[in-house]
Structure 1
Amino acid sequence: MGKATNIVWHKAAVTKQDRQLQNGHGSCVLWFTGLSGSGKSTLANAVSAELYRRGMNEYVLDGDNIRHGLNRDLGFSEADRTENIRRIGEVAKLFVDSGMIVATAFISPFRSDRDQVRALFEEGDFIEVFVDCPLAECERRDPKQLYAKARRGEIKDFTGIDSPYEPPVQPEITIHTDLLSVEKAVEQIFVYLYRKNII
């Protein structure tokens, strides 16, 4: 199947800035990255719930949920992981353009993939949140028993076991979930959003 040709970008009548003005807050993507079990989904949903409580337009794109639909045709090879993140980046960009604050919870193990997603966004719209938790602690938690299965060889190409995780070099926010409560972590993220005049 060839790539689409003869297509032209159609400029929208309503801009991102128009939507932000109507919403009363900025829009951005909070890109939560970290090992499985580090707390990405927990944090993304906690932030989203607090934004909702405050009357702000928000949404969560979760890795497992997206693989049930949009990305159900992808596996966990390096090429498929890259395509998974590329698609999510494009979807997140649409959410940001719609004036929403979108939180994504994906391992997104490769720096180059995250950098390519960052390049899709205007300056300040992509906020990388490194959910920093030691592998040993993630394995101890192992909420889905994935590490145990990977150690037994039942899951191949599992990040942290037989596939690498490349931590961010200069993330906008780093959350140490082995040291902070969910409430304190959410507070740290909101401090950043206030400081950047997003909310």
Structure 2
Amino acid sequence: MRRRPNNQPPKPCQRTATPICSHWLYGYSAASTTKDLFILEKATESMKLAAPLVTWQNSYALGLEEIDEQHKMLFDIMNRIWEGIVRNADATTIGSALEDLERYTVLHFTEEETFMRSIRYPNFDAHVALHRRFVQRVAEEKAKAQSGERISLELLHFLRDWLVNHILVEDKRYVTQFQTEKHHTSLLGRFFARLGKKTA
């Protein structure tokens, strides 16, 4: 295996785009065996799994603080589930995290729907239907986990992609209406404050 010269920083690998090149890690060459390449693929996969499932980006912000904070919480819960799956946590732990996701999703959607109704959002019914399908999928997966079934990584990718797309497309539509009608953002704060008192 070739060794990296002293004091020479590692260069990104052209095959894996990882910070440390597989040439130094595994001595990869044209003569490498299938086993060598398999080890490389598994190592690269492990490095990817170590990262969070979803990271909050400024482009996801709706500009409405209360709703943005709730979306961040949903991301946090998804990352907890992701970490549990990657670390092979037991079904009870995964099921509990999915129950948290279901509970918080229902709370968030309920508050969001109440807000949309208050501004007379015209696509309210279609938006609510999307919420219902998402909650149903989470509930189904929670039941599977609690019965001992393993939750797939593909499920978490689906939930992540659904939520990100929902924020960027569906949620931004009602926010656009809210902002177009020139409501002051403090109205939203007062709305959620009142809603919090009712649900406390």
TM-score, normalised with respect to structure 2 = 0.30
More strand by proportion, 1 or 2?
1
User: Which structure has more RCO (C-alpha within 8 Å, separation ≥ 6)?
Assistant: 1
Instruction: Specify the structure having the higher radius of gyration (Cα).
Output: 2
TM-score normalised to the size of structure 1?
0.30
Q: Give the structure with the higher percent helix.
A: 2
